[in-house]
Each structure stands twice: as C-alpha cells, then as structure tokens.
Chains A and B, each alone.
Chain A
C-alpha cells in the first residue's frame, strides 16, 4: 500500500497546503514538519510560480515572497528530501504550475520528485486535454525509479519510499474536478483518476470563504458515481467548523489559504502550525458524529 492509500485509512483526512520557501525556506520546512506531526494526514507542498492564475491573494502573496527569497524547484525538491530525512512519513503531494516543471525538464522533475520522496502531483493548469505529456514523463520516470530503487534494495532490506510508490504503478497526477465540469466530462476524468480526486468546491480561485458552497453534497455524490478513489474537497474552506461540515461528505478536506494566512501572519509559525493542524484534525474527528 502506498502512502496516499495508507493515509485514507481513517477518513476524512486533513490536507493542508503550504508553499515551500514561505516565509523562508527553513521555516517552511519546519512548518510542514509541524503540520505533519500535529494532525495533517497529507500535505500539499506548494511550488511557487510568478503567475499563479488559479490562486487568490493569500497564496499569491506567499508564493511571491517565496520567490523573492530565492525558492526554486531544485531547492523545493531538496526540502522534500529533508522532510523525509526528518522522518515525515505522510504523503507529500507537490502542487505547482506547469511552466517551472517544464523549465526543470519534465522527466527529470518527476524522477527527482519521486526520489526526493514526493507522492504525487497537482498541476492546476494542466487539464485532462494537456495531461498526456506529463503522464508519459511519469511512466518514464517510474521505470527509472524502479531500477534506482532496486539498486538500493541490495544495500538495505527496507524498501525505500520511492519503491512503495513505484510498485503501485507510479506517482499519480491528481485530477481536478470543478462545479462547472459537465457530467460526461466528469465521468471521463474520474474514471481514469488515480490517488484521489481534487474536487474544487466553488467556481473561483483559492481563498477563504464565509460559507460552504451550496450543492456540494450533490456534487460529491455525482463524482462518486464514477470512481471508488477518495474524493477530497478544496477551495474556500477556512475554519475547523467548515472542515467538519465538508468532512461529513468528503474523504478529505483541503485547506490552503487559511493555513497560509494563519501561519504566515504568526510570530511563532511553528507553534501556529501545530495548533492549526490539531484544531482541524480534531474537528474532522467529529465529522461523522
């Protein structure tokens, strides 16, 4: 069982987003470790891009700061490796826009990411129509990872993290669905999806919202008609109460802007991260009460 499947053993799961490099690289690594140790079940690790067109002001600002502080794709992957060395063992899914991945070299990117210990990818500007190139990079990288890992196996009896993912057929490119996705298209996307479904709960960009979108339970039910993999909901979930409400319907709750806002605005970001994760985790524990 790979890390992502493993994470969904106790649903609903808590999935915060945090960008590497914000407010600086070392702090962001500490924050992600703190989130992982305090209740996060899966973390969306943000890669920064100069033109994040699906993001609202909070994540725009955070990723801009990260870029000004010198974050790069390479440094981000090194940070993932460091998190693994520190013993973080929950799934880390890389979330970022396509161009920096292309600039890094797509095959090299997915290979290096897998070797660093990432568990999957979310690329918001890569709809189904354009995913083929990424998919073929993934299948290329999987075979490379396998052989690299087989070599490692000679040295150690413990299967490395990459192996566990690779054995299950490679890291997933997480598919996104939106409230605007028509039924036929939803079926087509959901049928081939791997890992989990990222269901965008609102028509809009990332950012905190006062209320949970109407019709969410119907939307989730529609997605479930086409797939057995977990359905996770993101965009606009800001409070533990909202998380609890969504957690009653979905398999996972994604919290981005609220997480970045709370931690980024804190004097003690590590403490805030621990508290933030604990609060959301405990709210989600009561989702099915």
Chain B
C-alpha cells in the first residue's frame, strides 16, 4: 500500500497500529490531502483562525527581560493569546473541520495539561460534535481548572487509571476508544505524534505559528531571528514555529525538553537528553526516540508540566535532531519555575509551565549572545491553568 503523503521522516514515523485502524488512517489522509486544495475548506479554516481564534497572535518584544538578561533581544510569539489560551486550538479546529468533511460526528482526544482537551472540547462545541477527552487521573488532579473548562464546554472527561495515569495512558485509552468506535469517531490527536498522517497534519495546522512569526519579525526588525526556541513534549508547538524557519539555514532551532528533577535523577521526560533510556523504538503508532527500559517497556516520565510529561517525541523532531537541523536541550522543573516567575515579573505575562521551559532556555542563552542578536521564543500557552501547581511547587522550593 502506498500513502498519498510521505509516511516517514527519514527512518522515523510510520503507521504501527492495529489493522482495524489502518482504513481510518487512509481515510484521514485522503480527507486531509483533498482539503489542502479545497478553496472552501481553506477559506473556512482561515476565517475561523481569524474570527474565532483571534489570529494572527501578536509578536511581543520582551524589552525588560532582554535588558535584565543583558544579551540578545527577545521576542515572544504569543500563542498564549490564542483563544483557549494555547496553540492547541489551531490543530483542534483544523482536525475538527476534517471530521465534518469525513462525515463523522464524534471525536475522542487525549490530554496531558488539559490544553488540547480544552481546545478539542471548544472545537467540538463550535462545530456541533460529540467529544470525549481521556485524561490521566494524575493530570486531572494537577490541572483541575482545565477539567472544569472541558466539562463546561460540553465534553465528557474520562479519567484514566491505567499505567502511569498520565498522558501516555490517556493516549492508550483514546486509541482503544477509537479502535472500538472507528466508523463514526475521529481521534483528534493533539501533538505531532502518532501514526502517519497525524504528525504531518498537526504540523500543517500548526505551521501558522511559524508563518506568522516569520512575517512579524521581518516586519518588526527587518530580519530573521538568530535563534528560535520552543518547548518540546510531543512537539506540536515546536514543529509549528520551526516550520516557518526550517528552510532558513542560518536560523538556529532549539527544542527544550522537560528535564524534570534533572537528567541524572532519572525523573524527567528528556528523550534526546538521556541516551541511557531514550532510544529509538515504537510507541503509539510511530517510530521515534522513546524513553524505555532495556526490555523495551516504556519508562515512567516526570515533569512539573503535564504537557511535556511524555515518553516519546514527534518523529519529525527525531529527524531534525539526527540531521542537526535543530538542537535539543532540556530545562529542569526548578529552571522552568524560575523562568515562569521571571517572565511574570519582567513582562507581565504568566506563561504555561510548558512554555516556561522554553523561557528557561532563553534565560541561559540570551546572556551569551550579542545585543544585536535576536531570539524568538514560542510562548505556546498561558499559565492560568498552572497556578495550583506553581503555588505548591514554589512553596516547596522556598521551604
């Protein structure tokens, strides 16, 4: 069988799913490919991006943060200002429109931090789809406001108590639901992960971030940034912003994984950062770098941010890393919490804990750069959802 679009990114990606799902993946790919050249579809998508999501999101010059760090000039791509408070809505709306196109009436989604769940519930409400969101019970406890938001939006939130009770297990349950109800249900996968065509679809719907950011920085300063930084869980916000600059070879691309309690502690979600556990494998339908033990069992992960707390990384990032087109580093929980507070104090912006990992890298990197250099950081979401976690964590840090 051949696919319409390339199913792999170098050796990564592919379609490692039960046979029951293969026809659904083929149908999804067909619908997606047809939508790319469908003027009406694109018009509707662009209209919703503007009138519902509020795009384009601004590019904000972080003047006080730049001065404080004393190096590169820092610009923030404000996905936190997109409707629902994160970049996730771009992909959720795009896929929900595909669902309508395929004539299905029900979506299932997984969520870690709750941002993708909220985005999916929002898209479902807007377009009149039934929506079930699977969420690990550990994540439900730490992202309570988002759970309430999803319910308000009419979604059913199903707690997942299997395995590690986090994002990985929520994906398992969403896939099980999908396998069972595949004829009328679409799996609205929220990151640049999973079997083909998901990584490509998610990148395309998130590429609006990079396209806008590129235009905006050119408009604002008349040149491209030296460095683009984004956090990487599955990697959808990163692949979205990177896509705008990947062909500009002199623009350095930096992805920031969750360093948790530190790589050496073993409690982290740094797939690239820990060669002892992060090896190429197959999980959730795709071949990529996966944190696993010697026997190929998927490892438990840890991050203060639920959205980065996942054992695998999107397959396109695996290729970008191998080809050294992008570089990947990590920020610990403590560094992310410091960055969170610094951005609050200097810029009046409360970032998501996920995005705070990207800011943490900026804090390390900007002082080593010249004042005429530019860092563009994708602020993928806002941090209101994280206040409970931050109150708890900062309290613990100060004691």
**Residues of chain A at the chain B interface (Cβ within 8 Å):** 49-54, 56-57, 60, 64, 67, 72-74, 98-104, 124-130, 176-182, 185, 188-189, 200, 203-205
B182 in the interface, Cβ–Cβ < 8 Å? Answer: yes
**Stretch of B42-50, B87-95, B283-291 at the chain-chain interface:** B283-291
B39 in the interface, Cβ–Cβ < 8 Å? Answer: no
**Nearest CB on B from A122, distance (A):** 11
**Residues of chain B at the chain A interface (Cβ within 8 Å):** 1, 3, 7, 14-24, 162-163, 168-169, 172, 175-176, 179-183, 279-285, 290, 292, 294-298
Check A102–B282 contact: CB distance below 8 A. yes
A102 cross-chain contacts in B, Cβ below 8 A: 280-282, 296
Chain B interface secondary structure, helix, strand, loop or mixed? mixed
Check B183–A53 contact: CB distance below 8 A. no
Cα distance A166–B281 in the bound complex, in angstroms: 28
A74 cross-chain contacts in B, Cβ below 8 A: 295
Check B282–A99 contact: CB distance below 8 A. yes
Q: Which of B15, B24, B179, B279 makes the CB contact (< 8 A) with A103?
A: B279
Check A181–B23 contact: CB distance below 8 A. yes
- Name the CB-closest residue of A to B296: A103
Instruction: Determine which residue in A53, A73, A178, A182 has the highest number of CB atoms from chain B within 10 A of its CB, and name it.
Output: A53
Check B176–A188 contact: CB distance below 8 A. no
Given the known interface contacts A51-B284, A73-B295, A176-B19, the answer about A130 and B182 at a Cβ–Cβ threshold of 8 Å is no
Check A129–B292 contact: CB distance below 8 A. no
A125 cross-chain contacts in B, Cβ below 8 A: 16-18, 282, 285
Cα distance A153–B288 in the bound complex, in angstroms: 42
Q: Which of B20, B162, B290, B294 makes the CB contact (< 8 A) with A178?
A: B20
Given the known interface contacts A180-B24, A205-B176, the answer about A51 and B168 at a Cβ–Cβ threshold of 8 Å is yes
Check A127–B18 contact: CB distance below 8 A. yes
- Name the CB-closest residue of B to A175: B19
Instruction: Determine which residue in B168, B169, B281 has the highest number of CB atoms from chain A within 10 A of its CB, and name it.
Output: B281
Instruction: Determine which residue in A50, A56, A203 has the highest number of CB atoms from chain B within 10 A of its CB, and name it.
Output: A50
Given the known interface contacts A50-B163, A50-B297, A129-B1, the answer about A103 and B19 at a Cβ–Cβ threshold of 8 Å is no
Given the known interface contacts A127-B22, A129-B7, A180-B23, the answer about A185 and B1 at a Cβ–Cβ threshold of 8 Å is yes
**Nearest CB on B from A174, distance (A):** 11
A128 cross-chain contacts in B, Cβ below 8 A: 1, 19, 22
A129 cross-chain contacts in B, Cβ below 8 A: 1, 3, 7, 14-15, 22
Cα distance A127–B279 in the bound complex, in angstroms: 22
Check B175–A53 contact: CB distance below 8 A. yes
Check B18–A124 contact: CB distance below 8 A. yes
Check A53–B294 contact: CB distance below 8 A. no
